[in-house]
Amino acid sequence: MKELELKYGCNPNQKPSKIYMHDGSELPIQVLCGKPGYINFLDAFNGWQLVKELKEATGLPAATSFKHVSPAGAAVGLPLTETLAKIYWVDDMGELSPLACAYARARGADRMSSFGDFISLSDVCDTDTARLIKREVSDGVIAPGYTQEALEILKSKKNGNYNVLQIDPEYRPDPIEHKQVFGITFEQGRNELAINRELLANVVTDNKEIPDEAKIDLIISLITLKYTQSNSVCYAKGGQAIGIGAGQQSRVHCTRLAGQKADNWFLRQSPKVLNLQFVDKIKRADRDNAIDVYIGEEYMDVLADGAWEKVFKVKPEVFTKEEKRAWLDQMQDVALGSDAFFPFGDNIERAHKSGVKYVAQPGGSVRDDQVIETCNKYGMAMAFTGIRLFHH
C-alpha cells in the first residue's frame, strides 16, 4: 500500500486527506481493522517512536497512551503492586503479562486524559494486553504484531470498527524530515539523539547519588518528553510517567500542571480513596470522574447538592486539605525531567511538593546557580544533560 485515503484531516472541513511516502515507496503500516483518521496516525507514529525508544533504553516492554499528539502516560512493563492494580482497575484480571502491565501503568497514570486514547505498544500485542484494551474507551492501537487471539479480541471492539495498526518494526525513516506550514516547507534532521545513562553523568548538585531505579525513571521522563508537545515536563516513579505537563508557554505552568497530575496519582492510592464505595454497575469513566471530584476542592459543592448519591453507596467523608497534604508528604524519590532548562528556582520549589528528589534538565540558564541552590536546599540530585528536547 503506497497511500491511504483518510476521511478528513484534523477537522471535518479539511479535505482531501491522505498519508503516503514522499518517495513513492510502500507505507510501513497495515490497517488490520477500522478506519483510522489523520490525528489517529499522528498519535500512532509519535507513540510508536516513544515506545520503541523506551524498549531500546530499558530492555523492557513499553506502552504509551496518546491524546492529541502528546502522551497522557508512558511506562515499562514492571509488575504491578496490589495498590496499583486496584487504582488502575485491573485487580480483577489476575497476573498480567509485562506488556499488559506497561499499558495498565500508561493508561492508569492519568485516566482522565487517557479517555479515548490511541495506544502504542513496543512488542507483539498478547491476549492479556488485548483484554485490557477491550474494556477501555480507546480509539486504536499500533504494535509490531498481534497474536491471533489478541487480534480477534481487538477486532470485536466497537462492533468491529476499532482501529488496529501493525507497523513494520524494521522501518527506518529518512534522516531528514519535512513538514509544511502555510504552504512553506520546513526541513530538519530527525532527532536521533539516544537517551541513556550517559546523559545523566553531569550531576551538578551537592547530592551526586542517583540510584539505578531513579536513572530508569529519568530516562523514561526524557524519552517521554522527546515526543511531548513543548514546553513540557514529566514526573516519573517506579517505571512510569505519573504526571505530564504538555504544551504550556511557561515552564512553571508545566511543572505545576504535571505536579498536580502526579499528586492525583498518589492521592488515588490513599486509604480514603481506595475505600470509596461506588454504586453498582457504575461506568469506568464515571468512576474516574467521581474520584477526580472527590480529590478536588469541588467535592464540598457535590456534598451540598446531594449529587454524591449518584455515584457513591455511602456518603464519603471529606478529604481535607490537611489530610491530603499529610498523605502527599509521604511521596518520595520522584524523578523529574524537563525538555528545556528551568529558568527559575520556583520550578524546583513546586517539584519538591510532589516528592521530587532527582532532576534531569539541559541546564544553560543565566540562573542555573539559583536552580542548583534550590535543589541543594532540599537534598535533590540534578543532572545537566546539555540537550534540549523540544517537539513541535
Strands 62-67 and 70-76: antiparallel
Mean pLDDT of 257-268: 97
CATH classification at residue 345: 3.40.140.20
Whether residue 151 sits in one domain with residue 291: no
Interatomic CA distance for residues 41 and 43, integer angstroms: 5
Tell me what pLDDT residue 258 has.
97
392 included as an active-site residue: yes
Local confidence band at 310 (pLDDT 50, 70, 90 cut-offs): confident
Whether residue 195 sits in one domain with residue 56: no
H-assigned helices in 268-362: 271-274, 284-295, 299-305, 321-328, 346-353
For the record, the C-alpha cell of 332 comes out as 518520595
**Is 181 inside any structural domain?**
no
Q: Which of residues 134, 167, 200 is at a domain's end?
A: 167
Whether residue 155 sits in one domain with residue 16: yes
Pick the closest to residue 200 from 191, 185, 211, 190 (CA basis): 211
Whether residue 84 sits in one domain with residue 9: yes
Whether residue 311 sits in one domain with residue 332: no
> Which residue range is the domain that position 310 belongs to?
282-315
Whether residue 151 sits in one domain with residue 9: yes
231 included as an active-site residue: yes
- Which contiguous run of DSSP H or E holds residue 375? helix 368-377
**Is 389 inside any structural domain?**
no
231, 237, 347, 357: which one is catalytic? 231
pLDDT in tens, 105-115: 999 999 999 99
**Is 109 inside any structural domain?**
yes
Whether residue 290 sits in one domain with residue 195: no
**Is 289 inside any structural domain?**
yes
- The number of folded domains in the chain is 3
Mean pLDDT of 25-54: 97
Whether residue 112 sits in one domain with residue 40: yes
**Is 273 inside any structural domain?**
no
Whether residue 109 sits in one domain with residue 37: yes
52, 68, 155, 158: which one is catalytic? 68
253 included as an active-site residue: no
2, 281, 321, 392: which one is catalytic? 392
Report the predicted TM-score, pTM, of the whole model to 2 decimal places. Answer: 0.96
Whether residue 26 sits in one domain with residue 150: yes
For the record, the C-alpha cell of 127 comes out as 491476549
pLDDT in tens, 124-166: 999 999 999 999 999 999 999 999 999 999 999 999 999 999 9
Tell me what pLDDT residue 301 has.
67
40, 55, 67, 237: which one is catalytic? 67
Beta carbons within 8 Å of 366's beta carbon, 6+ residues apart: none
Whether residue 332 sits in one domain with residue 218: yes
Q: Which residue has the cell 515507496?
A: 25
**Is 296 inside any structural domain?**
yes
Whether residue 348 sits in one domain with residue 302: no
